[in-house]
């Protein structure tokens, strides 16, 4: 049985990995393709809903406090970035993933949990992106354009990230977690 200190250390590790994932980026469309969401669903799978969400809450809080852990830095002004909604979405995404993943490590269940977590991230991120672009920045973009540029072009990469998580989790759980 893990104690609270062990859980906090693991949550901090996953928060740090999410920060590293922000800098492993490839320009793609309106935002960069990063590995943040891969570490988010990994946090949910390995830590469970509560500590997974906590790890991502710590990551977002650190960025809002000014630590340059987001793809374009950090600070409170980041809330006006179109991509900030996706960062907010990391918190419930880890929670949902953790709630659905289970402890058995069955691959289909892991994949379904990760996909559900990413869906939650998009449910938070895409409308936020639309609000910032159309209300704050007055871009006048259609819903289709926002969905296409904020989600659809990232789905193939997300599928690959989910496959990686499903492939590595059994080994992580068996050997080091």
pLDDT band at 31 (very low <50, low <70, confident <90, very high): confident
With 80 as the cut, is the pLDDT of residue 121 above it?
yes
Domain count, the chain: 1
Residue 65, domain CATH: 1.10.1760.20
Q: Which domain holds residue 114?
A: 4-175
Per-residue confidence (pLDDT) for residue 100, from 0 to 100: 97
**Does residue 33 register a pLDDT over 70?**
yes
Per residue in 57-70, pLDDT tens? Answer: 999 999 999 999 99
Cα separation, 134 vs 132, in Å, equals 6
- Compute the average pLDDT of residues 19-24: 95
Q: What is the share, in percent, of the chain residues with pLDDT greater than 70?
A: 98
Query: Which residues neighbour 167 within 8 Å (Cβ) at sequence distance 6 or greater?
Result: none
User: Which pLDDT belongs to residue 101?
Assistant: 95
Predicted confidence at residue 1, as pLDDT, reads 64
Task: Specify the pTM.
Answer: 0.94
3-state secondary structure 6-67: HHHHHHHHHHHHHHHHHHCCEEECCEEECCHHHHHHHHHHHHHHHHHHHHHHHHHHHHHCCC
**For range 51-60, the mean pLDDT:** 98
Q: Is the pLDDT of residue 76 over 90?
A: yes
At residue 73, the 3 state secondary structure works out as: strand
């Amino acid at each position: 049985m893990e104690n609270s200190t062990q859980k906090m250390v693991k949550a901090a590790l996953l928060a740090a990995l999410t920060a590293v994932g922000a800098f492993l980026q490839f320009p793609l469309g309106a935002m960069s393709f990063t590995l943040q969401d891969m570490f988010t669903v990994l946090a949910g799978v390995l830590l469970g809903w509560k500590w997974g969400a906590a790890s991502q809450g710590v990551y977002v809080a650190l960025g809002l406090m000014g630590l340059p852990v987001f793809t374009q830095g950090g600070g409170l002004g980041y809330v006006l970035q179109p991509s900030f909604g996706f960062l907010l979405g990391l918190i419930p995404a880890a929670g949902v993933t953790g709630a659905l993943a289970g402890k058995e490590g069955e691959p289909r269940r892991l994949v379904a949990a990760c996909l559900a977590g990413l869906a939650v991230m998009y449910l938070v991120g895409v409308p936020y992106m639309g609000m910032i672009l159309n209300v704050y920045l007055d871009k006048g973009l259609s819903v289709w354009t926002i969905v296409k540029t904020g989600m659809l072009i990232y789905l193939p990469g997300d599928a690959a990230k989910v496959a990686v998580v499903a492939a590595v989790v059994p080994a992580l759980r068996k050997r080091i977690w």
